[in-house]
Structure 1
């Protein structure tokens, strides 16, 4: 199909076709480079003006569009940036500071939806043009040397030890058969449309002026209680952030944030009622991170679910982002819980999967309760891993010894290296999974980004272990060239699939609607 996948990287947005050629050789040393400039292929969609919300604020358009014929872009030069690492010793107190659980109740939103609720904190922004795709004529590339600090963490005693958590009692589960179920007919996609821009300037929710959420990504969701959905975002940036990717520490960086939504009519968009806040009109970081490259750069939630009144988050502790697009290294994948509906969270000291030698199979996990069990679908760090499957009794989510891994058609106890032996669930690679059980159709739905295809795809199955249908494309990176994610709204149905996607160039979240047959 000629898809040209693009990949999320903290350094640049690089077409997939350049992955193997994005290096230069200096004195026999191979150095990765980041390339910025005109897109490799002409956008497929005609030019259209940037969208404007009901308050007259300009938003972003994630579609790949041709340049405005009335205002052609000026000639642009490509730039090859050669990052030169500069070693820098950094002392890191261990265990480090305790999380800041300061929380405040939300301020009531003004009756006028276009008014800023906290004008002393964030006034209404000046409308600005949305992201415009690259265009113009390419000249010879310029080469630029870009020194970059490369921290070398030196752990030292310090910080405040967290309150110790009692170790769970070992409870290995007996082996049980788990054969493949008969395959189900694949769903057909009748159409996919953009519903609304969820976050950032010009969005329906005006998250920049209301909660200091200017740029963010992910938007993974679960039902916390009847009538309420939690929406969790990844690295979030506030005042001073500009479109063009993730921000910097100086732009009010929070590793993650959490909002709530209660609007059931998703055709109106993903409407946010409010965020967990640590000060007026300011979304709080809910899972702390050290924010030290090569130690713990950030902490990214990967899924959420509820068992009774307790909320859970799976997360990955990111050691560093790779210079290879679409890759990163994690320290571990873990679980955290909340007993106050998501306002504050505690990381489990026991339910964690360390990434020994980079071989961890459940570093980016998605967990789904169903019946007496919670099922865990996982991939290694990065976007090129295979999917593994595990399950645990719902009452023992935080007891790692009670997990069973799906190996060769059986549920096998968590002993030895069984975690590493989990049988791949489907052929091919997958990243950033979203899984749900659809009660309407009695089928499981699996959505993920397949970077080798350049597609966000959907698979269906009668049982969590499969057999899974062949992948059905939901959207293409030809149309949405910087898209990633793909997290399904829990109030979707067997015929109406609503899901969030992120776009790297605008670094914000969008709600999509796929009509299924």
Structure 2
């Protein structure tokens, strides 16, 4: 568990000097390719304006935008201001209130809950931002202002705005040439939550500890490489969530903004779709919302349409009230303690559903694509994914920030469930473990792939898991493709500015070199990439998220 960061005065001065040094460096050349042509905003069948995740040229019929304001020549130095917050431990139990949802109206454009949602006005078109797509996958809604920038909160009577320290005036020097004006220095007060655990809350229902089931080591050499795939075409099939989406999730289930869209076959003919931080009425793009915008840390929908050329169509969500998707995994929503709980993969064995998740302590204010976790864990559902229970024993704590299995992707095959994992954030390597299908919730039964051998879980062995591929990865999606007899892996590769695909004959590899599927210069702010279980080796369907519109899209990659 993480606590608030301390930042001594000397470190603050060093930080200010570093910022000044960065400001004096020459700007890096732009790397984005040509923009897509401008087109009028498209609409769904009900006349609602969609979001457009493509980077496009500006509307030629509109006047050019005004030039950007001149830099204010100010160096901002953030000064954390501790805010003590008492946190009852244990916290409240998971709220498993659920309703049997009423059927949707026969007219797909009819509002199912007009007494709850009657705003059907088009939302503004979102301009795609430039730069790194690796923004955090969710918000950090606390009292610190904009979570994406770390900006200072508005000044109040109790906390006046800090004053800028004027810089010395430059004189003309010899020869009458003016010296460059030194920048101003401004100290911005940033509230920093300091959680203090106190007794309270409801103790969870006790869970029996599984009996030790340590497995003997077993050799697991890498297999011969398979022929690498090659992208033939890429198509955006449909907008899955949000205003203007095929599913009209804002009107039907109060899902205006969300991300991820993790999929698995929950039963024959049905696919479960798990989403990350979800926002409802009152949320407006761009980016994720805040705590007062009907924030749920996660939600789950179900889909049964087989014809994916028509898009990913959602039948319903797990709901706790009319037209309102429920939060299926609780979180404390306290910065530096547990700000949110995000699903990372799902699968079904027999009649039971499993969901991996990460407990996020805090998002980074300064490094896009970085966050810190408390643990990666497993939850299960015995009612088809409607309600979930977090396992007390199947969890991988992030001790000293060294945990290798914090963002997990699990996939069953041939009597085992394989667990691929990365550390918190998008800058770690991919480790691998496996467990017998009947021991998924027994951590002692897991074996880790270390130096071509499945090694039992003894002490810190999980930290030694051998990377299965070179380079770093963000948000894994892995599955076994029966149509080709090969494994498929999709993830965000920050170095290549792309969502990429690798394939292999065995989970431990040899994995092919990455095949770029989605260029993040074409789709700025894109992340995620979760494979639809009804894909084939030739037709790969997957969801991706866009940070600027903060919604989910179904993509179709045709492979040669």
What's the CA shift string for 1:377-422, capped at 9, x where partnerless?
0000000000000000000000000000001111110002110010
Q: Does 1:468 align with 2:463?
A: no
Q: Does 1:283 align with 2:299?
A: no
| Distance (whole Å) between structure 1 residues aligned to residue 19 and residue 113 of structure 2 | 44
> Matched residue of 1:109: which SS?
coil
> Matched residue of 2:444: which SS?
helix
| Distance (whole Å) between structure 1 residues aligned to residue 77 and residue 249 of structure 2 | 36
Q: How far off its partner does 1:134 sit?
A: 5.7
Cα distance, 1:422–1:28 mapped onto 2, change above 3 Å: closer
- Show the counterpart of 1:86: 81
Q: Does 1:55 align with 2:46?
A: yes
Comparing 343-352 and 145-154, the one that deviates more? 145-154
- Show the counterpart of 2:14: 28
Q: 2:430 aligns with which of 387, 390, 393?
A: 387
> Matched residue of 2:358: which SS?
strand
Cα distance, 1:111–1:379 mapped onto 2, change above 3 Å: same
Instruction: Name structure 2 gaps, 5 residues minimum.
Output: 1-10, 24-28, 131-182
- Show the counterpart of 2:69: 77
Give the paired residue count: 485
What TM-score do you get using the length of structure 1 for normalisation? 0.90
Higher percent of residues as strand: 1
Q: Is the 8 A contact 1:386 1:426 kept in 2?
A: yes
| Distance (whole Å) between structure 1 residues aligned to residue 19 and residue 551 of structure 2 | 27
- Show the counterpart of 1:355: 398
> Matched residue of 2:524: which SS?
coil
| Distance (whole Å) between structure 2 residues aligned to residue 197 and residue 117 of structure 1 | 20
What's the CA shift string for 1:334-366, capped at 9, x where partnerless?
000000001110000000000000000000001
> Matched residue of 1:63: which SS?
coil
| Distance (whole Å) between structure 2 residues aligned to residue 478 and residue 229 of structure 1 | 31
Matches within 5 A, 1:29-428: 29-30=15-16, 44-71=35-62, 72-77=64-69, 83-133=78-128, 147-323=189-365, 324-428=367-471
> Matched residue of 1:417: which SS?
helix
| Distance (whole Å) between structure 2 residues aligned to residue 42 and residue 297 of structure 1 | 36
| Distance (whole Å) between structure 1 residues aligned to residue 240 and residue 510 of structure 2 | 34
- Show the counterpart of 2:159: none
What TM-score do you get using the length of structure 2 for normalisation? 0.84
Cα distance, 1:514–1:209 mapped onto 2, change above 3 Å: same
Q: Is the 8 A contact 1:107 1:281 kept in 2?
A: no
| Distance (whole Å) between structure 2 residues aligned to residue 205 and residue 52 of structure 1 | 12
- Show the counterpart of 1:449: 492
Q: Is the 8 A contact 2:272 2:301 kept in 1?
A: yes
Q: Is the 8 A contact 2:129 2:525 kept in 1?
A: no
> Matched residue of 1:29: which SS?
helix
| Distance (whole Å) between structure 2 residues aligned to residue 287 and residue 123 of structure 1 | 29
Q: Is the 8 A contact 2:213 2:444 kept in 1?
A: yes
Q: Say which one has the larger Rg.
A: 2
Q: How far off its partner does 1:76 sit?
A: 3.5
